[in-house]
Amino acid sequence: MTVPLPDQFKRVTLAPGGVKINTLVGGSDRGTPVLLLHGYPQTHVMWHHVAPVLAQDHPVVLTDLRGYGDSGKPSGGPTHEGYAKRTMAYDQIRVMRELGYERFAVVGHDRGARVAHRLALDYAAAVDRIAVLDIVPTRHAMRTADMDFGLAYWHWFFLAQPEPLPEHQIGADPVGWLRGRLSSWRRGGQPFDPKAVDEYVRCFNNPGAIHASCEDYRAGAGTDLADDDATAARGEKVTAPLLALWGEHGFVGRHYGDVAAIWRQYADQVQGQSLPGGHFLAEEVPLQTAAALRAFLQD
Q: Is 279 designated active site?
A: yes
Cis check: omega of the bond before 16, within 30 degrees of 0: no
Candidate list 38, 58, 249, 279, residue with the active-site label: 279
Q: Is 193 designated active site?
A: no
Strands (E), the chain: 10-14, 21-27, 34-37, 59-63, 104-109, 127-133, 242-247, 270-275
- Non-local (6+) Cβ contacts of 70 within 8 A are 20, 22, 43, 64, 203
**Maximum CA extent, the chain:** 48
Residue 142, number of CB atoms within 10 A of its CB: 17
- The three-class DSSP label of residue 123 is coil
How many whole angstroms separate alpha carbon 84 and alpha carbon 167?
A: 19
Candidate list 110, 216, 224, 227, residue with the active-site label: 110
Which residues have a catalytic role annotated?
A: 110, 279
